[in-house]
Amino acid sequence: MIGRLNHVAIAVPDLEAAANQYRTALGADVGAPQDEPDHGVTVIFIELPNTKIELLYPLGEASPIQGFLDKNPSGGIHHVCYEVEDILAARDHLIATGARVLGSGEPKIGAHGKPVLFLHPKDFNGCLVELEQT
């Protein structure tokens, strides 16, 4: 069901410092910051030959990323994102197998302009999983 790895998301306490580190120390192609108010984050994507890194920074006081950073002040890996061809079919299959979909269970539009869902980390070995429709 899952396709390729779309991105690995890293929550960071200082977005510009993290972007600069990838740009200067690693020579990466670093995109511009983009606010995603529906998800409570500002993101920067780093393009790699085989996938992307997504830097996450809290946007607003209700950001879910702030809670993560409160527990992990230096930041850290927040989630992995896999591509799926049909997000509704994937959701229905996962629910049928006992996995929990976070939120209302209805896809939201993600940072790439495509439908996304998040799966409970307790159902995936402690890893928050994002699914993005291709």
Compute the radius of gyration of the chain from its Cα atoms.
Answer: 15
Instruction: Write out pLDDT tens, residues 12-63.
Output: 999 999 999 999 999 999 999 999 999 999 999 999 999 999 999 999 888 9
Instruction: Give dist(CA 31, CA 70) in Å, integer.
Output: 26
Q: What CATH code is carried by the domain that includes residue 58?
A: 3.10.180.10
Strand pairing category for 5-11 and 29-30: unpaired
User: Which residues are part of the catalytic machinery?
Assistant: 130
pLDDT at 61: 84
pLDDT at 84: 98
Instruction: Give dist(CA 87, CA 74) in Å, integer.
Output: 33
Instruction: Write out pLDDT tens, residues 59-93.
Output: 988 899 999 999 999 999 999 999 999 999 999 99
Domains: count for the chain? 1
Of the candidates 127, 16, 45, which has an alpha carbon nearest to the alpha carbon of residue 82? 127
pLDDT higher than threshold 90 for residue 116: yes
> What are the Cα distances from residue 4, in Å, to 31, 59, 82, 102, 108?
21, 28, 6, 21, 20
Which structural domain range is residue 72 located in?
5-133
pLDDT higher than threshold 90 for residue 6: yes
Mean pLDDT of 95-107: 97
Instruction: Give dist(CA 110, CA 87) in Å, integer.
Output: 12
